[in-house]
Chains A and B, each alone.
Chain A
Amino acid sequence: GAGVSQSPSNKVTEKGKDVELRCDPISGHTALYWYRQSLGQGLEFLIYFQGNSAPDKSGLPSDRFSAERTGGSVSTLTIQRTQQEDSAVYLCASTPTPAGNSPLHFGNGTRLTVT
C-alpha cells in the first residue's frame, strides 16, 4: 500500500526565501510528526499533530517555522526567511494513534539546501 509521501524530494533555495514542504500521511493515520535530520545527526523533533490540531509544537526552532494540517490528512511545514542553518533533511512520519506501541512510518524526506 501507499506509504508516507513527501514533496519535493529536494529543494534548493536562496537565503531569505520562504519554502513549503508537504507531507501526505498514510490514509487513516491520525497522528503526524515532523522531524529534521542534519548530516550525520539523529532526529530532531519539530511538531506533532493529532488530527488537525498540534498538541506539541515545542520543537519548532524559531517563529520562522510553522506547520498546519488540514482535513486530518495533508500537512505543510513552512519555513520563512530561510537561513543556511535550516539546511537539513525534513522527515514526516505518521501513525494510526499517538500511543507508544504504534509504529511510526516515515517518508523519504525533503532535502533542503539553503544557499
Chain B
Amino acid sequence: DAKTTQPPSMDCAEGRAANLPCNHSTISGNEYVYWYRQIHSQGPQYIIHGLKNNETNEMASLIITEDRKSSTLILPHATLRDTAVYYCIVRSISSGSARQLTFGSGTQLTVLP
C-alpha cells in the first residue's frame, strides 16, 4: 500500500473549520484514501473514505486532488471533542487488504477553546 505523509500536529480554534492535509503521491488507481481518528484510550474511529471524487458525510468532508496525490480532511466546525490523532491511510480495493492496514504517525489535532 502507498505511504502517506501528514504534518505531526495542528491547532484549530473551536468552531472553526479544521483542514488536515495528507500527501499520498505514490497512490495507485485501485487504492482508496481512508481517514480514521484515535482519541486516547479508544480504538480508531472511521471518519470517511473516497476513491476519486470528493465525499461528505455527517462527520467530515474529503477533498481529493484531481491527480489523487493528496487529499484534505475537513471538519467544518471543530469542537473540543475533535481533539485526536488523525490518520490518513491508503488501502487497496482488493479483499484482505485490511491485513496491510498501516496507520503511521498521523496528525495530532488540538482544538483550542
Contact = CB atoms under 8 A, between A and B. Distances in A.
Contact of A107 (B34, B43, B94, B95): B43
B93 A100 contact: yes
Nearest to B48: A103
B41 A108 contact: yes
A104 B96 contact: no
Contact of A48 (B41, B51, B94, B96): B96
B51 A101 contact: yes
A93 interface: yes
Contacts, number: 67
A20 B96 CA distance: 25
Interface in A14-71: 31, 33, 35, 42-43, 45, 48, 55-56, 58-59
B99 A59 contact: yes
Contacts of A48: 96, 98-99
Interface in A84-115: 91, 93, 95, 97-101, 103-109
13 contacts: A4-B43, A33-B98, A42-B104, A43-B101, A48-B96, A55-B96, A97-B95, A99-B94, A100-B32, A100-B94, A106-B44, A106-B45, A109-B43
Given A93-B98, A98-B98, A106-B45, 19 more contacts: A42-B103, A45-B99, A48-B99, A55-B96, A93-B43, A95-B98, A99-B93, A99-B94, A100-B30, A100-B94, A101-B49, A101-B51, A103-B34, A104-B44, A105-B46, A106-B44, A107-B43, A108-B42, A109-B42
Interface of B: 30-32, 34, 41-46, 49, 51, 91-104
Q: Top 4 A-B pairs ranked by shortest CB distance?
A: A106-B43, A100-B93, A98-B95, A100-B97
Interface of A: 4, 31, 33, 35, 42-43, 45, 48, 55-56, 58-59, 91, 93, 95, 97-101, 103-109
